[in-house]
Amino acid sequence: MTLSEKIYQSAGLTLPAIATLTALVVAFLIDPYLAFVSTSWLIFGLLGMSLDIVWGRGGLLSLGQTAFYGMGGYFGSIAAINFSELTGNSIIWALPIGSLFGALSAMLLGYVIFYARMGELQSTILSYTFTLLLWSVIQTFKIDIGSASVLGDSGLSNIPGIIIGFGAEAESLGPNQALMTVIIIVAILYFLTRQLMHSHFGRIIDCIRIDSSKTELLGYDVRKYQLLNFIYAGAIAGLAGTLYALWSNFLSPSVFSIQEAFLPPIYVLIGGLGTLAGPFVGALMIGIMSFVLGGAAGGQTTLILGVTLILLVLFLKNGILGSLDSLWRKFLPDPNAAARNTNSVKIDVEVLKQILIDAEKQAGPAKNFSTIQLFKKFGGVIPVNKVDRNFIPGKPYSLIGANGAGKSSFLKTCVGIYQPESGVVNLGDDNITSSPIFERVKKGMGVKNQKPQVFGDLSVIDNLWIAAYSRTHDQQIALDISHKVLCMLGFEEQLGVNASALSHGQQQWLDIGMVLCLAPRIILLDEPAAGMTKEETRELSLLIRTLALHTTVVVVEHDMDFVSTLEGHVTMLHQGEVFAEGNIEELRKDERVLDVYLGRRKHV
Amino acid sequence: MELDYLATILLSSLSSASILLIAAMGLAVVFGLMGVINLAHSEFLMIGAYAALTVTKAGVPYILSIPIAVMITMSIGAIVEMLIVRRLYGRLFDTMLATWGLSMFFMQLVVVIFGTSTVSVATIPQFNVSIGEYSLDGYRLLMILVAALMFLFVYLLMTKTVYGMKARASIQQPEMAQAIGIDSNRVNTLTFSIGCGLAGFAGAILLPLVPATPTMGLAFAVKSFLAVVVAGPVALTGTVLTTLGLGGGSSITASFLSSVIGEVFFFLITALLLWLYPCGISAKWRRKL
């Protein structure tokens, strides 16, 4: 790695660290009024970062961040008003309670959004509804909690300032010291979040954003991770709300308003989506703009803000940090250069066997896979009609049939994408008929869909790693396994290449490699040979035959030549039912099969 | 007497729901036929109201000011489509953010031009209808009829005209539509412009009920927006159902309890419907309009 690449890699740490130190010095020196105002910019940046976690990383544009911010603010302030007299210090009460309530409200909303598997637009709208619901409730909501009184429209006042000292004499910090305290709190949260997003958790969140169905096929409980990420962001927003309340000593229902709800997306867009540091840049710029224009232009800030937003969306999609990042990367060596000199994949049977034996040691022996009277219908169409099958390890099983025979529907019902109306699916000794997909994968099911499903923005090795990690939950073991599979596929040189830079055929192999990393005990392959060259198909056939010696393999396939090279058991489906079975020679002699396949009269 | 009271509440709730439907219709057309959420919709409504107000003050009869308002908003809509929306096709959330920026821009522009104060229109028809001992604002009741006619107009426009067929073809099978020679850009510009025109019509026709202010759109924005999204992909018919259900329901709740509880009812039912129908109530319907 060259020096410039090293600098680039660590830019997310060094630049914010430099910015923090500079900010601390500046905060000490500047005019108190400016220090007071700029504290709020930093707090808004923190609010923006909480959205960036959910939107830039998680992929959900949430308009509920200001709701968590407001909830955190209100409850944190109530805690501060009541308890700060006991200790003098206000933040040890306000910050934990504020972030707790931010997290709780995010949990409530996130549970509904993720566990109902809501559409993208509907999720955004529901989060907006949540904010507006709080807005309309809080406007008339009046309650006294201890010495804090929430007065509907008139808000909540008498909130103590930021007090870090202890004892009866402790006083609110002056503007400069308050700013420095907020800088330190924000910096801690930024580095914590960055660490989290660089850990396996962050990688899984990235995968969910790129392709959530593939992530679930790798055995991750997608909804759990989405919810956890949402709750974490809610806690950050709640903490930001509390800081805001302590800073302004006053809260009004307007924190939940429509105008407020759209501010975090603006900060994020200006700074750069998914950059984590971007929202701070965005909040700072908007803050400086309103500060400079504030007196002279009056309400014209809104006008400028509106136009800025339109221009940003149209012309600067990646925001300021995002654009600087792409500019910087132009001067670095292209990581995808290696994608251009790849050889065709050659499967080394001995290496593959070793991998499979290792997998067997870790994951146990191959499992049977059976369906009993499996039945699925869509309206009047019955694509899976009382199918009884028992698949065992040893030889590959092929499912054939004309278009619409029910092959793919059968496979999807086995995988768990379709819920059957009746019947049973067994994996080994477990009845998995109603298990969610990720649980089936954890029990040993591996699935390769027809289209290659790889995480395009992740490097080849990371793609394999994320699959291996799902099973092992150990970073180092996962890395070892992915290296072995990488070598077997002959992708050593493309290790750091983005998966999206690979050709279609290579992506197919990478996808198969990811399935191997899962060490599945039963493998379901949907038309794996589609779009492959003759040579690749030959290698694939070899791979499948080797796999079948160690695991149970079921292949759905159209290509008869390919099916005959598998030398396995063939089942032909017709109108959702098992029509014929045996080896390929027997089927070729069967008159009824020829009738259905070639469209002769009798059985069509 | 109880019966009179009930009838009054039902009628006034139905008219509230109709007003919501009038405000939401353009949004539903644009969402249903283009898959675009126009967050500046409520500002087109406001522009329609100001346009009608301005020409009425200049001496034009109120009834004639309505088509003028429609034409002005349609033209602005066409320009907005060509300058902004067209560049963002297929990027739903970017369109939302850009049109939200546009709505801020329009709102502030109107403040700059007209100021924040309200001017009422004197020449607008005022009459009352009485049921038993209760009396209802006749113009409000008239809105039920207006909403029905408006829906009928849009429905016929979409099903009986060449434009309507092209528009529906463009949204159902965009590539196929282009392959058979439909210029989907032009169709989309027209659709967006019609959506904005419907908003302008709403602003003008509601002027006697909702005085023109720069922020008048906000009151409708949120609710019509939610109604359309809850309606889902079959936006037009779906929106009729959701506006009647949500708008009518919250209005009935409001008249028996309090207006805040009415609002809460609206948002809670929206959340409940989204929980039950994660992709909108019409996600599994077979009809397409």
Q: Does the predicted model carry a pTM greater than 0.90?
A: no
What tokens appear for B62 in the block?
Answer: 């109120």
Q: Give the pLDDT of residue A562.
A: 84
Q: Average pLDDT over chain A, rounded to whole?
A: 85
Q: Give the pLDDT of residue B237.
A: 83
pLDDT digits (tens, 9 = 90+) for A407-444: 888 888 888 888 888 888 888 888 888 888 898 888 88
Considering only CB atoms, which chain A residues are within 8 Å of B88?
313-314
B118 pLDDT exceeds 70?
no
pLDDT confidence of A1, banded at 50, 70, 90?
Answer: low
What does the DSSP 8-state code read for residue A495?
Answer: T
188-247 in B: which are within 8 Å (CB) of A? 218, 221-222, 225-226, 229-230
pLDDT digits (tens, 9 = 90+) for B63-80: 888 899 899 999 999 999
pLDDT digits (tens, 9 = 90+) for A39-53: 999 999 999 999 999
Note whether B267 contacts A314, CB cutoff 8 Å: no
pLDDT confidence of A604, banded at 50, 70, 90?
Answer: very low
B134 pLDDT exceeds 80?
no
- Using H for helix, E for strand and C for coil, what is the string for A363-422? HCCCCCEEEEEEEEEECCEEEEEEEEEEECCCCCEEEECCCCCCHHHHHHHHHCCCCCCE
What tokens appear for B84 in the block?
Answer: 């902004």
Q: Give the pLDDT of residue B232.
A: 80
**Average pLDDT of span B194-220:** 84
Tell me the C-alpha distance between A141 and B185, whole Å.
49
- What is the total residue count of chain A? 604
pLDDT confidence of A188, banded at 50, 70, 90?
Answer: very high
pLDDT confidence of A361, banded at 50, 70, 90?
Answer: confident
Q: Give the pLDDT of residue A294.
A: 66
**Average pLDDT of span A143-167:** 79
B1 pLDDT exceeds 60?
no
A281 pLDDT exceeds 80?
yes
Q: Which of A61, A118, A129 sits opposite B226 (nearest CB)?
A: A129
Q: Kindly tell me the burial class for residue A207, based on how many C-beta atoms sit within 10 Å of its own C-beta (0-12, 13-18, 19 or more).
A: buried
Q: Give the pLDDT of residue A421.
A: 87
Distance from CA of A260 to the nearest CA of B (A): 12
Q: Give the pLDDT of residue A298.
A: 57
For residues A388-406, one letter each, b for 16 or more C-beta atoms within 10 angstroms of the residue's C-beta and e for the rest, the string is ebebebebbbbbbbbeebb
Percent of chain B with pLDDT over 70: 94
Q: Give the pLDDT of residue A301.
A: 72
- Say whether residue A254 is in contact with chain B using an 8 A CB cutoff: no
DSSP-assigned letters across all residues of B169-205: HHHH-HHHHHHTT--HHHHHHHHHHHHHHHHHHHHHH
Q: Which of B87, B221, B267 sits opposite A129 (nearest CB)?
A: B267
Closest CA to B255 of B21, B22, B12, B2: B12
Domains in chain B, start-ordered, CATH in brackets?
Answer: 2-276 (1.10.3470)
Q: Give the pLDDT of residue A72.
A: 94
DSSP-assigned letters across all residues of A280-295: HHHHHHHHHHHHHHHH
Q: Give the pLDDT of residue A42.
A: 93
Q: How many CB pairs under 8 A join A and B?
A: 112
Q: Give the pLDDT of residue B124.
A: 61
pLDDT digits (tens, 9 = 90+) for B262-275: 878 888 888 888 88
**Average pLDDT of span B116-121:** 66
Q: Which of A116, A117, A306 sits opposite B101 (nearest CB)?
A: A306
Torsion angle defined by CA atoms of residues B114, B115, B116 and B119, in that order, rounded to the nearest 10 degrees: -50
Tell me the C-alpha distance between B96 and B86, whole Å.
13
Q: A45: part of which helix (H) or strand (E)?
A: helix A32-52
**Average pLDDT of span A147-152:** 78
Report which of residues A259 and A557 the model is more confident about.
Answer: A557
Q: Which of A342-356, A460-474, B217-231 has the lowest mean pLDDT?
A: A342-356
A94 pLDDT exceeds 50?
yes
3-state DSSP assignment of residue A591:
helix
Q: Name the amino acid, one letter, at A119.
A: G
A603 pLDDT exceeds 60?
no
What tokens appear for A303 in the block?
Answer: 């006008």
**What are the backbone angles phi and psi of residue A367, rounded to the nearest 5°?**
-115, 150
- Measuring CA to CA, how many Å separate A27 from each of A571, B2, B115? 74, 69, 40
Task: Name the one residue in this structure whose structure tokens are 């073991």.
Answer: A477
Tell me the C-alpha distance between B83 and B193, whole Å.
13
Task: Name the one residue in this structure whose structure tokens are 């830079």.
Answer: A501
Terminal CA-CA length for chain B:
42
Distance from CA of A16 to the nearest CA of B (A): 28
Check: CB of residue A281 under 8 Å from CB of residue A268. Answer: no
A242 pLDDT exceeds 90?
yes
- Using H for helix, E for strand and C for coil, what is the string for A138-177? HCCCEEEECCEEEEHHHCECCCCCCCCCCCCCCCCCCHHH
- Say whether residue B173 is in contact with chain A using an 8 A CB cutoff: no
Taking CA A150 as the corner, what is the angle to CA A147 and CA A151, rounded to the nearest 5 degrees? 125
Domain boundaries, chain A: 16-256, 357-454+502-598, 455-501
pLDDT confidence of B123, banded at 50, 70, 90?
Answer: low
B40 pLDDT exceeds 60?
yes
- CA-based nearest residue in chain B for residue A297: B112
Q: Which of A90-104, A161-175, A186-200, B138-152 has the lowest mean pLDDT?
A: A161-175
Report which of residues B81 and A587 the model is more confident about.
Answer: B81
Question: Where does chain B have alpha helices with state H?
Answer: 2-34, 41-57, 62-83, 92-114, 138-160, 162-172, 174-179, 184-205, 216-231, 235-242, 249-256, 259-276
Annotation: CATH topology of A357-454+502-598: Rossmann fold (3.40.50)
Percent of chain A with pLDDT over 70: 97
Distance from CA of B132 to the nearest CA of A (A): 34
Q: Which of A138-147, A276-285, A435-444 has the lowest mean pLDDT?
A: A138-147
Q: Give the pLDDT of residue A203.
A: 92
- Measuring CA to CA, how many Å separate A447 from each of A450, A455, A514? 10, 16, 10
DSSP-assigned letters across all residues of A508-572: HHHHHHHHHHT--SEEEEESTTTT--HHHHHHHHHHHHHHHHHSEEEEE---HHHHHHHTSEEEE
- Say whether residue B113 is in contact with chain A using an 8 A CB cutoff: no
pLDDT digits (tens, 9 = 90+) for A490-520: 888 888 888 888 888 888 888 988 998 888 8
